[in-house]
Amino acid sequence: MIFNIIDVFKIPVYEAKLDLDIKELELFCNSYEGWHPEGRFYSNMGGYQSHDMPLDITDIQPLVKEIEEHASNFAKEFINPNKQVIDSMWININGYKDYNMPHNHPQSDIAGVFYIKTPKDCGFLTVQHPALPVLNYYDLNLNIEKFNSYNTSACKIIPSVNALYLFPAWLMHYVSQNISQEKRISISFNISGQ
């Protein structure tokens, strides 16, 4: 029997390991929370999420540069060759049992997160398939022996320190509970082409 499977739809998630000064970024995030303790609540259930930070803060300039460079590289593969620029950026500090509900980032082209502190058991970054209700049908009604990119409704990514993740801003995603006794620290952002 001769056959061919044609992959007609794909959803890209870009991963890059950066080489930034994590200790300095962790110190910056903790200090920023002290300077701006009010925070906000969007998708976060517990924990601290800053309001959008000014993008000209000296401490984050190396990160901003890396993100925009990687986002421009990523965008060439699925959007266009335009330079990608950060629209907004904020800090996430999640303690024990804190998490982020499923959400996406409207009015942007690319969304992403950079991980600064990821203790063991701090939770997954999970991206959901756009056809989640259909794939849930498979989960409930078929005897799937092994999940793969054709039949799974979600993909769990184990975050690591100094790791950058980029994905289409429309992609639903969430961060599971931090069950570590230490804080999970990340910086999230929205990006658009210029």
* CATH value at residue 30: 2.60.120.620
Nearest 5°: phi and psi at 97? 70, 5
For residue 139, what pLDDT is reported? 59
DSSP 31: H
For residue 141, what pLDDT is reported? 57
Residue 186 covered by a domain: yes
Residue 79 covered by a domain: yes
d(CA 93, CA 79): 31
Residue 168 covered by a domain: yes
Residue 88 covered by a domain: yes
For residue 172, what pLDDT is reported? 96
For residue 142, what pLDDT is reported? 65
Residue 93 covered by a domain: yes
d(CA 70, CA 192): 13
Contact 111, 174 (CB under 8 A): no
For residue 153, what pLDDT is reported? 81
Residue 161 covered by a domain: yes
pLDDT tens track, the chain, 194 positions = 999 988 888 899 999 999 999 999 999 999 999 999 999 998 999 999 999 999 999 999 999 999 999 999 999 998 999 999 999 999 999 999 999 999 999 999 999 999 999 999 999 999 998 887 776 666 555 677 787 887 778 899 999 999 999 999 999 999 999 999 999 999 999 999 98
Number of domains in the chain: 1
Residue 25 covered by a domain: yes
d(CA 113, CA 169): 11
Domain that holds residue 184: 14-125+155-193
d(CA 86, CA 171): 18
Residue 145 covered by a domain: no
